[in-house]
Structure 1
Amino acid sequence: MKTSIKILFIFFTLIVSNNTFSQKKERIKISGYVKDSLNKPIKDCVIFIDDVKQKKKTNKKGFYNLKLNKVPQKITFYSSNHGLTEINYPGKRIINVKFKKMGIKEETKYSKLFKVEKENKNRFRFNDIYSYLRGQVAGVRVLPDNTIIVRGVTSLKGSNQPLFVLNKLAITLEGLEYINPKDIKSVKVIKGSEATMWGVRGSAGVIMITTY
């Protein structure tokens, strides 16, 4: 009796181990080409998996290659020059994407994706990033305690702090304090549905800063 129980225990352990190994080993691979309406490759196209931005972008041939830990539901492709397109994951290994040609209405829509502030030639008179944002960036409210809020935005996650992006890289609030106003080339404010390209992190708005 004890021998039978021992054999069953070993058998059960092997099954669990094999299942665990298979789950760890299994990864979803997706690759393909992203092209515009003229069938030309789109370089540096940003890819989101279920609203989560991926580190990899398309190369100069428009090719991308992703390895995912789980099956995605939605794949989003974004290009600053061609707009945004979403597809439901079709369960295929190779997924090629072709952007449609944008009409006048769509061009207007995507041109408003980023609210670009003109270069501030008087930036040298600001002592810190907070005074710069307070005095020069429309759509941003800086409270007396230096709390920064994007006007007209209510976060779904309960936080009113926007996402800060410096030269295309997300930074913390602490990192924001090290930015010298004299080095700022431009500031862009994203909010509303347009900020969904940044996922949950952009639910309170996104402030993009570019330096020289």
Structure 2
Amino acid sequence: MKKIIFLFVALLAFNLSADSQTKKLTIQVTDENNTPVAGAIILLDNVRQKRWTNAKGEYKIKLEKKPKQVSAYSPKIGIIKVAYNGEKKLILKIKEGNDHYISGDTRSKNINPIQYRDIYDYLRGQVAGVNITGSNNINIRGYNSINGSTTPLFILNNTAVNKTIFSNIVPTTIKSIRVLKGPETATYGSRGANGVIIVQTR
């Protein structure tokens, strides 16, 4: 009987210890006008989570491990990254403008490209301002072509490529992505009328 009681107490202590290590975090995502942002992607240390913010702009999670950084990304607005210091609730306000670049070696940012099925999935998780439909048609925010086409110019390793070649880019080979729009596309003339997506691979 004493052994059973001892084992019960030990098991209870273990469970309490495990619970104490699990931290609940509520993330509230809003825009500049404090309007809740539904459908925002949440990333912990640049690892995309499986769910999105709800209709109230909230995302709740139990943390098994404390992340160093929390990010919220909205394809329609932009992205915000903040350091996490153990708060129970974070309010992330997404402002427009921080949506043009993914640069540097992705390995150094702890991004795991394996989590992305293809180049389109990768863009959805990383670049705000780039809208991608379910059929993988790309539109860079702010561009509406008069001829109905919204496909941007694709540049792969300094060479213009068609959508077929672009579609075959493997996420694990991506070194950096740069999205150009507005005056930045002038170098490419009429070819860059719908914006430019520049990809560098390893």
TM-score range, shorter chain: 0.3 to 0.5
Q: Normalising by the residue count of structure 2, what TM-score does the alignment of the two structures yield?
A: 0.47
Of structures 1 and 2, the larger Rg is shown by 1
Normalised TM-score (structure 1): 0.45
